[in-house]
Amino acid sequence: MTTDSEYLILGAGPSGIQLGYYFQRDGRDYQILEGAACPGAFFEQYPRHRKLISINKVHTGTDDPELRLRHDWNSLLTDDYSLLFKEYSQEYFPPADTMLEYLSDFAQRFGLKIRFNTRVQSVERHGDDFRVVAQDGQVYTCRKLIVATGVSRSYVPEIPGIELAESYEDVSVDPQDFVDQRVLIVGKGNSAFETADNLVPTAATIHLVSPCPLDFAWKTHFVGDLRAVNNNILDTYQLKSQNAILDAETVGIRQQDDGSFIVKFQYMHAEGEVEELVYDRIICCTGFRFDDSIFDASSRPEMTIFDKFPNLTCEWESTNQPGMYFIGTLMQMRDYKKTTSGFIHGFRYNVQAFSKLLAEKYHDTHWPFTTHRFDSDVLTEKILSRVNGCSALWQQQSFLGDVVVVQDDCVVRYYEGMPVAYLQKHFVDEDRRCFVLTLEFGTSSPDEDPFKVNRIRKDNVAKAASSTFLHPAIREYENGAKVSEHHIIEDLEAVWKEEEHIRPLTRYLEQRIHSTDRRVAWE
């Protein structure tokens, strides 16, 4: 028996559920296939220590539901801000089991079309269509295949003897199993530090190793880098309490007769020194990547970034498989380690944009816009209302933007929350005159201490472009080229309502609207 639909979504995790909401709302012909018995089954096992690091700030000092989403990293989007995660937990870092409950209720509340216990065995391409075969023999066909399966395959580095290590997925999480043991953790990401912090009270010695130095989220602004909630072990290292963080290549692992392990390292910052150390346990915490094993030769997507992600266009479509799209954490291929597409609070806005993109591409429904007078006061008010009240631009800094498209000397169209690369293709590269609004961080030296940054005085608007913290930026394009740029100076509380924000923006827009000389000129 074959079941046919226009859209087939593989996976009922947060992104599959989010897109299902929009498809259900818009009356699309779709089906979601989920291998487990419930939505979000990933959270049944991960994170292993059952604490999410996606923040759930319930008390924000505002009743504005859009602003609250800036500090709510777990809720999915709805048109009326209903069914928010705060209704399920008040904890700042909530338990993973709460996410399972939330996703299940979300799917039921909005009547999403999900077939559970339907594990996909193979995906084939037949002309312009896709044929998906489940393990129970059921066949599903579709014109557009949307993959929302996340990064589900463990990455195991090519280290001789790595098979002797235990894995993050199944190692014991009981600290009493490690009493007085010497433990090596291979990897220096959040899963490695989550594991290490759990063992600090009981293990005799803990070392974490990888060739690359630590990247801290507070410095890079990338929430996938090491988070403060997981880094308590750093104190024990710097304060001489037996533990250590090693920047080293793990050359090999071998087991001794007594069951212990000898690990050979080559240090990165010690003139190439080679050393062997002995451990009782080795745990591999080296992350995950996309599993492409279900795709046959006719449908296999091209991979990129060390074969970790499928290669995607600005529409999140496979570069070599037309009609095959990827959503959720797989969307981060387009902005890898730059913004939040790998996490719910980022990809929920990507999925919202994706639903509009599909509507325009396949359903003759234009991306929503509002019409405004081409007037400096009008556009100043609109731009400031967006940067002061929008969550999409806040969460997806530099990746999602608003675009003001000039229709004629009197009228503009204002489009909200477009991927910048997508609007570049559809407006800038089409030689349309437009202004693009984003929120973005300024540049800083890689060695600069983020807690000792020299800030720009709030009245020194001439140096607004040097703002290092999140701030609005507007760029004007014409005939495919950037012709002007304006930055609004950073603000401690990210509220841009003062004269130093309003007047320079109005003056910039006034000058650009009435300029007859549009050569490059920006402040």
Q: How far apart are the first and last CA of the chain?
A: 64
Pairing mode, strands 129-134 and 471-478: unpaired
Q: Out of 16-20, 224-228, 251-255, 394-398, which region has the weakest mean confidence (pLDDT)?
A: 224-228
Whether the pLDDT of residue 523 is over 50: the answer is no
Phi, psi of 152 (to 5 degrees): -110, -5
Same domain, 31 and 126: yes
Percent of the chain with pLDDT over 70: 98
Residues 304 and 445 placed together within one structural domain of the fold: no
pLDDT per position as a tens digit, 252-269: 999 999 999 999 999 998
Distance between CA atoms of residues 179 and 496, nearest Å: 53
Q: For the ranges 61-70, 116-125, 159-168, 509-518, which has the lowest average pLDDT?
A: 509-518
Tell me: the pLDDT tens digits for 409-433? Answer: 899 999 999 999 999 999 999 999 9
Question: In the listed set 284, 304, 326, which residue is the last one of a domain according to the structure?
Answer: 284
Task: Please state the rounded mean pLDDT for residues 358-382.
Answer: 97
Q: What is the mean pLDDT of residues 344-353?
A: 98
pLDDT reported for residue 369: 98
Please give the pLDDT value at position 160.
97
Domain boundary among 339, 362, 385: 362
Using alpha carbons, select from 113, 145, 115 the residue that is nearest to residue 129.
145
Q: How far apart (Å, rounded) are the C-alpha atoms in residues 330 and 25?
A: 24
What tokens does 457 get? 């005085």
CATH code assigned at 215: 3.50.50.60
Confidence of residue 458 (pLDDT cuts 50, 70, 90): confident
pLDDT at 448: 79
Residues 292, 147 share a domain:
yes
pLDDT at 521: 46
Question: Is the Cβ–Cβ distance between 474 and 485 less than 8 Å?
Answer: yes
Q: Give the per-residue pLDDT at 272.
A: 85
DSSP 8-state assignment for residue 314: T
Question: Angle at the Cα of 444 (from 442 to 450), degrees rounded to 5?
Answer: 100
Whether residue 523 lies inside any domain: the answer is no
Q: Output the six-digit token pair for 316.
A: 């999140």
- Going by C-alpha positions, the residue among 31, 26, 24, 27 that lies closest to residue 7 is 31
Is 100 domain-assigned?
Answer: yes
Q: Minimal CA–CA distance to 169: which of 49, 321, 86, 16?
A: 49
Q: Pick the last residue of a domain from 224, 256, 284.
A: 284
291, 119 contact by CB (below 8 A): no
Residue 96 has pLDDT above 90, yes or no: yes
User: Average pLDDT, whole number, for the chain?
Assistant: 95
| pLDDT of 519 strictly over 60 | no
Taking residues 336-356, report their average pLDDT: 96
User: 138 and 279, same structural domain?
Assistant: no
Across 191-200, average pLDDT: 96
Question: 109 pLDDT band (50/70/90 cuts)?
Answer: very high
Q: Do 210 and 222 fall within a single domain?
A: yes
Residue 418 backbone class (left: φ over 0; alpha: ψ -120 to 50; beta: rest): beta
State the pLDDT at residue 43: 96
Dihedral sign computed on CA atoms, order 402, 379, 472, 59? negative
Average of per-residue pLDDT across 64-89: 97
Q: What is the pLDDT of residue 460?
A: 81
Burial class for 212, CB neighbours closer than 10 Å (0-12, 13-18, 19+): exposed
pLDDT band for position 274 (cuts 50, 70, 90): very high
Answer yes or no: do 247 and 322 share one domain: no
> Do 260 and 373 fall within a single domain?
no
Model confidence pLDDT, tens digit, residues 208-232 = 999 999 999 989 989 999 999 999 9
Q: How far is CA 106 from CA 67, 81, 98, in A?
A: 21, 12, 12
Residue 70 falls inside a structural domain: yes
Q: Identify the band that residue 92 occupies on the pLDDT scale cut at 50, 70 and 90.
A: very high
Structure tokens at 407: 């229709």
Report the pLDDT averaged over residues 302-308.
Answer: 95
Indicate whether 350 belongs to any domain. Answer: yes
3-state SS, residue 444: coil
- The verdict on residue 156 lying in a domain is no
- For residue 312, the model assigns a pLDDT of 98
**Residue pointed to by tokens 């997507």:** 301
Count of CB atoms within 10 A of residue 360's CB? 13
Q: Are residues 347 and 458 part of one domain?
A: no
**Contact 472/496 with Cβ under 8 angstroms?**
yes
pLDDT at 520 over 60: no
Same domain (yes/no): 251, 271 = yes
Confidence band for 318, pLDDT divided at 50, 70 and 90: very high
Would you say residue 517 has pLDDT above 60? no
Which tens digit of pLDDT belongs to each residue from 290-300?
999 999 999 99
For residue 378, being part of any structural domain is answered with yes
- Cα–Cα distance measured from residue 144 to residue 322, given in angstroms and rounded to the nearest whole number: 9
Report the domain count for the chain: 3
Q: For residue 522, is pLDDT > 70?
A: no
- On whether both 341 and 375 belong to a single domain, the answer is no
Question: Percentage of residues in the chain with pLDDT exceeding 90?
Answer: 90
Residues 97, 133: Cα–Cα separation, whole Å: 30
pLDDT at 459: 77
Q: How many angstroms separate the CA atoms of 178 and 196, rounded?
A: 11
**Domain carrying residue 507:** 369-514
Asked whether residue 521 is domain-assigned, the answer is: no
pLDDT band at residue 401 under the 50/70/90 scheme: very high
The pLDDT score that the predictor gives to residue 464 is 87
Q: Are residues 418 and 394 in the same domain?
A: yes
Asked if 423 contacts 402 with a C-beta cutoff of 8 angstroms, the reply is no
325 and 232 within one domain: no
Which pLDDT score is estimated for 516?
Answer: 57
